[in-house]
Amino acid sequence: MFLATGAAAPLPAQGLELSGQWFRLIMPSLPAAGYFTLSNASSMARTLVGAQSPACGMLMLHRSVSNNGEERMVMVPRITVPAHGNVQFAPGGYHLMCLSPRPAMSPGQSVPVTLRFADGAILTALFPVRNATGK
């Protein structure tokens, strides 16, 4: 059991790990989508509550949902990663949505993303940027 000590320093994201991360940039004038797998090796469920990147005007948690064959995206305020489990961010499901991509969001480059968790933990990783065909 963790007790808050009053210090505002972020907790290390112990047990949390990102893998397979990348952004898909279709056109610089369109939002870019971020995909990855988020694993939780700890014995407590962990809840993702936000994301940010200097390469994006705004970075949001999104989910694609299909309604009678029609696909649309909704904002997601929080995503829980079960203990000893993982959550996939992949086309057709959860993804990061980078609004107003900045010039750093360019195929062949990598951009940093910071994920924020409900318990105060933060996790930062570099996301390679690929083009519409995934290259």
Which of 97, 111 has the CB closer to Cu ion?
Answer: 97
* Token digits of residue 35: 């995909």
3-state secondary structure of 83: coil
Which of 5, 66 has the CB closer to Cu ion?
Answer: 66
Instruction: Name the site residues for Cu ion (rule: CB under 5 A).
Output: 62, 73, 97
Tell me the closest approach of the beta carbon of residue 91 to Cu ion, in angstroms. Answer: 10
User: Is 67 buried (19+), middle (13-18) or exposed (0-12) by CB count in 10 A?
Assistant: exposed
Which residue number has the CB closest to Cu ion? 62
d(CA 129, CA 36): 12
Which of 16, 59 has the CB closer to Cu ion?
Answer: 59
Tell me the closest approach of the beta carbon of residue 64 to Cu ion, in angstroms. Answer: 7
Tell me the closest approach of the beta carbon of residue 35 to Cu ion, in angstroms. Answer: 11
Residues in contact with 78: Cβ distance below 8 Å, sequence separation at least 6, in sequence order: 47, 48, 49, 61, 118
Tell me the closest approach of the beta carbon of residue 16 to Cu ion, in angstroms. Answer: 22
Which of 58, 118 has the CB closer to Cu ion?
Answer: 58
Which of 35, 117 has the CB closer to Cu ion?
Answer: 35
Tell me the closest approach of the beta carbon of residue 73 to Cu ion, in angstroms. Answer: 4
Torsion sign (Cα): 118, 40, 115, 62: negative
Side chain identity, residue 44: M
